[in-house]
Amino acid sequence: MMRPIDGIVGLATRTNVAGGKAMGNLFRDRADAGRQLAHALRDYQGRGDLVVLALPRGGVPVAFEVARALHAKLDVLVVRKLGAPQDEELAMGAIATGGALHLERSVLRELQISDAELADVIARETAELARRELAYRGECPPVPVQGKTVIVVDDGIATGASMHAALDALRSRHPARIVVAIPVSQSDACTAFEGIAHAFVSVLQPDWLMGIGGFYVNFDQTTDEEVRACLAAARDWEPEQGSDSAG
C-alpha cells in the first residue's frame, strides 16, 4: 500500500472559461498545457531516475513538453476508456496495458449494464489497445520503470477512470514513486488517488468540470502520427539511463 498523497499543486482553484482566450485560465493547446505543467513540476528536473509516461493519445503532446523540460525519458502507457453503449463519451471504466481493469460501479448500476454488454465493450477496446500498442511502440519494449520516479501525464481528468486503470497497470511494474500530473482536474480529484499516487499535480483545479476540452482553445484530436512523432523526437534528446529487467 502506498502512503497517502504528500504533494498537491493547484495553481487555480476556481476557473470560469466564459471569456475565451482572454481569461488566462485556458490553455492554447496541449503543448502549451504541457509547458505550464512542466513549470509546476520543475522540482523534478534533472533527477536521474525520472520517467514520464503519457496516456495516449491526448496526453502525449502534454507529456512531450514535460519530459523535454525535465530531461526525462518519455514513453506511453496505453489506456482505453470503456464507453457506455448508450453514450460512448460516458466512461463506465477503463482498461490499460497489462490487463488492468477499472470499473465505475456506480455508472454500471445506474445504466443497468449487463455482463454481456460490458464484455462486448471490453473485447472491442482490448483489440484497439493492442493495435495502438503496436502502432506506437512497434517491437520496442516499454521503458523500464522499476525503482524509478514515474510522472503519469494526461491532458486532463474528468471521471478518472483512465488514470486509475493506468496506475493499476503501472504499480505492477514496481516504480519507486508515482506522480499524477495533469493540466486540469476538478478541485477534489486528488482525493481519488490517495493511497495510489505519491503526489498529485494539477495546473487548473476548477470547482466544476463538465469537460476537459472547455479549458483548451485548440482541443483537436491527437492522431496516431502525432503520437509516433513525439516519441521519435523524444528519443533524440532524452537521457541515456540504465535499464532494469523487470520494468
- Looking at the predicted structure, is the pLDDT value of residue 82 above 50? yes
pLDDT (mean) for 71-92: 92
Give the pLDDT score at 238. Answer: 56
The pLDDT assigned to 23 comes to: 41
pLDDT digit string, tens, across residues 176-227: 999 999 999 988 888 989 889 999 999 999 988 878 999 999 999 999 999 9
What is residue 113's DSSP assignment? Answer: -
Alpha-carbon torsion, ordered 239, 152, 144, 140, to 10 deg? -80
pLDDT digits (tens, 9 = 90+) for 109-164: 999 999 999 999 999 999 999 999 999 988 888 999 999 999 999 999 988 889 99
Q: Where are the domains of the chain?
A: 7-79+143-237
Specify the pLDDT at position 208. Answer: 82
* Chain centre to alpha carbon of residue 192: 14
Distance CA 246, CA 13 (A): 39
Q: What is the pLDDT of residue 24?
A: 54
- % residues pLDDT > 70 (the chain): 86
Q: Each residue of 157-174: pLDDT tens digit?
A: 988 889 999 999 999 999
- The confidence score (pLDDT) of residue 22 equals 28
Record the cell numbers describing residue 29, joined without a space.
Answer: 493547446
How does pLDDT run across 229-246, given as a tens digit for each residue? 999 999 887 555 444 433
Q: Does domain 7-79+143-237 sit in CATH 3.40.50.2020?
A: yes
Q: What integer pLDDT is reported at residue 15 of this predicted model?
A: 32
Q: What is the pLDDT of residue 4?
A: 38
